[in-house]
Structure 1
Amino acid sequence: MGMRALSWGPVAVVTLVHLIALLTGADAVAAWSQVLLMPALAVVLLVSPPDDRGPAWPWALAALAASWVGDSLPKVMPEDARFLAMIGGFAVAQVLWIVAFTRVDRGRSPFAWTLLLMVVAVALLAVTVPEAGMLAPAVVVYGMLLLAVAWLASSHGWVGALGGALFVLSDGLIALGAFRPDLVDWANRDLVVMATYVGAQAMFVAVILLTRSPELTWGRAPRRETRTRLTR
């Protein structure tokens, strides 16, 4: 338990440095601290004892790697290709998170949460697709992947549900910034995007590590082996 807690230290430090850099306009520090965010989360998975990682940890690690590509590749791409490079990496990450969340036992997503996700997804697509031009099909596919990730994450309890909500908020702000900047023209928008992005990814990692804690999932009784372990 102590090692697991310590493993989150680099995540907290890098995130704090990155957010302060965004807040103060230190663009170089913000750019390169962003590259360290996903590796710091990967360390949390890698240093956990094998029996505590959960069965889906390789898929989660691959999702973090794809997210790292989405964070990093745009920094070395021509300006007109940066957005596609970012979205490409994140789309692969979403597919991998979907696989990860379906590789472990899960509960049932609450109906109200499912309905809310659908409303938000439809609203985002209605606002962004008409302005996306040739990218409209890609925007629709990406929106469906985002909805699937948030819905599946919510089936793993309140940690996953909150992570899914933050993920939708972060990606929704990115989409609005790309296609409807007039709707999100306010100070420190990038700060909110990155804070919710890191928060979502951290909670997804926590879901993977907590897959053996059924008390954190909705509507499921603890497994026999878990009850035995807790009573020893």
Structure 2
Amino acid sequence: MSAAESRTPSWARPAPAARGTAGRILLGAFAAATAADLCALLVDWHLGHVLAKPLLMPLLIAHVLTLRAPRLLVAALLCGWGGDLALLFDADAAFLIGMGSFAAGHVCYLVLFGRRRTHPALGGAYAVALLGTVGLLWGDLPAGLRIPVACYSLLLTAMAYRSSALGLRAGLGGALFLLSDTLIATGVAEWPQLPRPDFWIMATYAAAQYLLATGAVAAAQGYGQAYGRTVLQD
């Protein structure tokens, strides 16, 4: 890293560039699969969604591997892939399995973020959001899902808050992940939904995972070393 780069805040630096042709091709394939999935959701083509959604995380994993991604990041994305596959099935058991897989991914992210500092005021804002959302949803959730959803929401909110330790890029990813899963929860609670709710869920989710992944890779490559922060280790 150059002296100029070391003085630049991590949020002001670009995402890490793909290494070689393979990395660029894989990133393009991830973008194409995401676009195909979102288009399928917009036109209500279920088969297109079923075909495209399972490709997203493997392509993103392959891309970040070209950037020498930390193992915990790969594990988190693999857990996300497991959750993606489970949620393709419309059953309570599949929903719980998917939620458990995503929860495992959040644990991987939390360990990956380590003990880096985050702003206490942001933590307070996330705490208010957690209590308010769970409180409002509680009575409308199926009785058997209330405790699991509340526990998952706590873990998800902790991940979203701690993601800001890696800078603005990862912090935005964590916030979008929280938004995406909140949209899912409002659907389970049978609240009024936006038109094409699955489109918004997948759009925010795909963006969240991309921002978290590239933010973590940037930190792993040393971009997060500004102002004396420790370089992320896996």
Return the TM-score normalized by structure 1.
0.82
Aligned counterpart for 1:70 among listed residues 83, 107, 117? 83
The separation in 2 between residues aligned to 1:143 and 1:210, in whole angstroms, is 27
Aligned: 1:188 with 2:196:
yes
Q: Note the C-alpha offset of 1:114.
A: 1.9
Which sections of structure 1, spanning at least 5 residues, go unmatched?
225-232
Any conservation in 2 of the 1:74–1:86 contact (CA below 8 Å)?
Answer: yes
Select 1:128's aligned residue among 117, 137, 140: 137
User: Corresponding residue for 1:30?
Assistant: 49
Higher relative CO (Cα under 8 Å, sequence separation at least 6) belongs to 2
Which AA in structure 2 matches 1:208? A
Give the percent of matched residue pairs that are identical in Structure 1 and Structure 2. 30
Give the secondary-structure state (helix, strand or coil) at the position aligned to 1:192: helix
User: Could you tell me how far 1:80 is from its partner in structure 2?
Assistant: 3.8
Comparing 33-42 with 92-101, greater Cα deviation is found at: 92-101
C-alpha root-mean-square deviation of aligned residues, in Å?
2.1
Contact kept, 8 Å, 2:37 with 2:48, in 1: the verdict is yes
After TM superposition, give the deviation of residue 167 of structure 1 in Å.
Answer: 0.8
Counting helix residues as a fraction of each chain, which structure ranks higher? 1
Q: 1:110 aligns with which of 113, 119, 140?
A: 119
Give the C-alpha shift of residue 222 in structure 1: 7.1
Partners of 1:98 and 1:206 in 2: how far apart? 16
Q: Which amino acid aligns with 2:131?
A: V
> Residue in 2 aligned with 1:199?
207
* Conservation of the 8 A alpha-carbon contact between 2:170 and 2:213: no
Does the 8 A contact of 2:72 with 2:109 survive in 1? yes
SS in structure 2 opposite 1:155? helix
Name the aligned partner's letter for residue 187 of structure 1.
P
Q: 1:8 to 1:130 in 2, by over 3 A?
A: same
Q: In the alignment, is residue 167 of structure 1 matched against residue 177 of structure 2?
A: yes
Instruction: Determine the C-alpha separation between the residues in 1 that align with 2:224 and 2:202.
Output: 30
Q: Is structure 2 residue 100 aligned with structure 1 residue 81?
A: no
> Contact 1:74 / 1:81 at 8 angstroms: preserved in 2?
no
Q: Deviations over 1:159-184 (max 9, x none)?
A: 011111101100111111112x22x4
> Could you tell me how far apart the structure 1 residues matched to 2:161 and 2:168 are?
12
Shift of residue 185 of structure 1? 2.2
CA-to-aligned-CA distance 1:2-37 (integer Å, 9 cap, x gap): 524444211111100000110111110112211111
Give unmatched runs, 5+ long, in structure 2.
1-16
Task: Give the count of matched residue pairs.
Answer: 209
Shift of 1:131: 3.0
Q: Show structure 1 runs of 4+ deviating over 3 A.
A: 4-7, 221-224
SS at match of 2:140: helix
Report the Cα offset of residue 78 of structure 1. Answer: 6.9
Q: 1:127 to 1:67 in 2, by over 3 A?
A: same
Contact 2:110 2:162 in 1 (8 A): yes
Question: 1:66 and 1:82 mapped to 2: Cα distance?
Answer: 14
